[in-house]
Structure 1
Amino acid sequence: MAVEYIHGVSLAELRKYNPERITEDMVRDLGHKLIESGKTVRDHGLTISSLTLNGVMLKDDDEIVILSSGINYEDVDEREDVFIVAKIMAQLLAKNPLSQRLYDEDRLRSSKYVPIVGVSKDLNKVLSEALHRNINQRYENLEALDAAIHKLPPVAGAELCSQQDVRILEDGQVLSEKAMPRGRIEYGFWALVILVIIAIAMLFTTNIYTVIFGAKSDKLQYTGFSFGADDADDDSLRAPSAKLPPREARKPLQTTYGDLKINRDDPRRSVIPPEDSPAPVKKVLSPKGPGANFVYIEPGTYGFGRTGNNQSHNVSLSGFYINKHEVSQAQWNRLMKPARVSEVGDKLPVDNVSWFDIAIYCNGLSEIEGLNPAYKIRGVGASRVVTCDFQANGYRLPTEAEWEYAAKAGKFFSYSGSEDPADVAWYRDNSAGKLRQPGLKDANAYGLYDLSGNVSEWVWDWYDANYIRALPTFVNPSGPATGTQKTIRGGNVMNSEGRNLNILWREKGDPNRGYPFVGFRLVRTK
């Protein structure tokens, strides 16, 4: 291992002790150097996905050196390196200690990018795309980010992003001036409190409940506070049982809380059927078949994760039913709370739904149709555990192997159904980034639509970058036993022709959250 003494300062020290040296021109130039260094690192099979301001040294000649602490030895998507370069640029440009919290890595990954005040709007736009929370929306690689920075107009004369009416709070929220809490008395709030007090007082001191919900002839009367009747009052309400009129003629007692029926029948008798009546029959739902929107995929073998010249079969699958189309917003809204979709439309595919919510949807739909739910869900929140009974006849997500088998449909195209993506897919070049109603493009050989493009699709499997290369089983594989992220397949309207739209491309996502342009389709074993 070679060790080199470096004379210079880290970017963290530069920001802390010499912030006046940091200009937008300097940061743009630094961005180019970071990108070149990142590309060199990737050429050696490494990444800079762990890089921070402390991991970059600025030498006396303004050249940079990346320390080994910022280099990651794992196989990481290049768009993570794009995020890291943009993060460092943003952290340098945010000189105010309070605003620096807005560009902390954890916050950038979970919240929308906030433009940096005093920086050109053009650079803010580039950083916004590079720091997008959804990895699918970022620049595809470091080369694309470098090109975007090169195209920026000169800083001199550029329109800068101003503070306007934005205030930055200590907790990292961004509020407009109009949305800031007011210090004056909220008269509407106190008026509502007074009305509630008056309503409670009337409930206990008048017969207002009877007036509202009782007979129309009842008049409002003051009864005073009475939380329990004394013995004299109680006796005045009693009548000898011998003098009670026949049941048909009895009238309910009038109380300040409405009608109270006297001499009720024992409610337990209502569950005992008369001797001459038949016993109640419990209604049993008949299981519903998959329907015309599902296609049965015959059992078979194929090359999982293989295409082109490497077509040898390595996986054997049982038969299953799969939906021709992705689940629509109307179908989702029938059972679930409407999602924050990218574009509203009952016939458009639902997106931005979490993997765990999809499991709940599958079980709910199965129960409605009299099927045995495929999923068993235990726990709540992020600690939920979901197991799958692949022999159940209920709805579920396809395994990754099932999804790819259905997408290939016995062919070796780069996209599901064709070598030309325009025939079978909605993607960036022909969709203008807009979702489309499923089924408008050509189907693949199995009669399935939009397995390439439109929305990407969640599958059952946990994600492991090396899973397909080291399959633990070759019969009905269902993914790694454990993991932290679930697999996403298929590409979407934000992907261009090529790798990210390719039938073999694999993405990953947190199962607890939804992502724009990521939806799903259903399968059934029986």
Structure 2
Amino acid sequence: MQPEPQVAMISVSRGQITLSDRRTQRRWVVDLAPYKLAALPVTQRVFADVTGLRPSASVGDQLPVESVSWWEAVRFCNALSQQDGYTPAYHLLPGGEDNEIEWDHTADGYRLPTEAEWEYACRAGTDGPRYGQLDEIAWYRANSSERIKDVGGKLPNAWGFYDMLGNVWDWCWDVYDADVYDTYRVLRGGGWFDEHWSCRASARRRSHPTFKVDDVGFRIARSAV
């Protein structure tokens, strides 16, 4: 018998999203297949249950896990896939973190969302910078007392996703700009220490996949295969 999943997932129907980058003034359209996305960021309790580790700077079972690198998020996805009886989505080549990683698009296991999947779910059918009034939906510098907060403490969007903006930034699968930033990966959503302008559905940030800081976490996705 397959074990009960630890993470609540929400099904998202196929759709289309237009992404944009303020730095380059580029816009591009992405068609999305159906997928599932976690209603909440991965918590410290879930991360510890799966990996046995508690890397976060702040301590609390229902706080988002933070101070995790992109690589650690990828490894968590594979470990949770194996625990829940799914096929891991990622093939990590041996030899260290700087080697290539392959995403098996046919696998049913957990993975990081693409930034298109992330923004489509964040917007939940809206077209403004946010899916609600910022103080009602997000923890950010003006209302967080400059501290991370338990997941799910603010209002969700229309599709049931919590903390898409604020609290912690979410690692995404995508390379930000390989020509300029090499292997840097995309971060989305803004965090508890950010000003309001970073907590927008379209805001993009980047960092090296080994980067760790106390306002960066992640949420997980699955392909509808």
- TM-score with structure 1 length normalisation? 0.39
Describe the shift of the 1:357–1:427 C-alpha distance in structure 2 as closer, same or farther (beyond 3 A).
Answer: same
- Residue deviations 1:288-335, cap 9 Å, x none? 6868821100101232238xxxxx982210010101000000101112
* CA distance 1:330–1:378, shift in 2 (3 Å): same
The correspondence for 1:517, drawn from 211, 215, 218, is 215
Distance apart, 1:414 and its partner CA: 1.3
Greater percentage in helix? 1
Please identify the structure whose Cα radius of gyration is greater: 1
CA 291–342 in structure 1, closer or farther in 2 if over 3 Å, else same: closer
Contiguous gaps of at least 5 residues in structure 2: 22-26
Q: Does 1:504 align with 2:183?
A: no
Matches within 5 A, 1:65-80: none
Pairing partner for 1:490 from 189, 193, 206: 189
2:95 maps to a residue whose letter is V
Residue of structure 2 in register with 1:424 after alignment = 137
Aligned partner of residue 136 in structure 2, secondary structure: helix
Show the 5 A alignment for 1:430-441: 430-441=143-154
Matched, 1:379 2:78: no
The partner residue of 1:393 within 102, 108, 112 is 108
Q: Which amino acid aligns with 1:412?
A: D
Q: What's the CA shift string for 1:165-208, capped at 9, x where partnerless?
A: xxxxxxxxxxxxxxxxxxxxxxxxxxxxxxxxxxxxxxxxxxxx
| DSSP 3-state at the match of 2:20 | coil
Equivalent of residue 362 in structure 1, options 77, 82, 104: 77
Paired residues for 1:8-407 under 5 Å: 286=2, 293-305=8-20, 314-407=29-122
Give per-residue Cα distances to partners, 1:466-525, cap 9 Å, x unaligned.
99xxxxxxxxxxxxxx93211111100110112x22221111111123222100001111
Aligned length: 219
Counterpart for residue 105 of structure 1: none
Between the two structures, name the one with larger relative contact order (CA 8 Å, sep ≥ 6): 2
Question: Identity across aligned pairs (percent)?
Answer: 34
**Contact 2:140–2:193, Cα closer than 8 Å, also in 1:** yes
Q: Structure 2 counterpart of 1:494, which letter?
A: F
- CA root-mean-square deviation: 2.3
Equivalent-residue separation in structure 1 for 2:141 and 2:223 (angstroms): 34
CA distance in 2, matches of 1:497, 1:383: 34
Deviations 1:125-157, CA, capped at 9 Å, x for gaps: xxxxxxxxxxxxxxxxxxxxxxxxxxxxxxxxx
SS of match in other structure, 1:383? coil
> Runs ≥4 in structure 1, deviation > 6 angstroms?
289-292
Q: Match of 1:252?
A: none
| CA distance 1:292–1:434, change in 2 (3 Å) | closer
Gaps of 5+ in 1: 1-284, 307-311, 468-481
| Shift in alpha-carbon separation, 1:313–1:301, aligned structure 2, 3 A | farther
Contact 2:149 2:167 in 1 (8 A): yes
Describe the SS at the equivalent of 1:314.
Answer: strand
Q: CA deviation at 1:339?
A: 3.7
Greater strand proportion: 2
Give secondary structure in 2 for the equivalent of 1:503.
Answer: coil
State the AA in 2 paired with 1:519. Answer: G
CA distance, structure 1, for counterparts of residue 93 and residue 129 of structure 2: 39
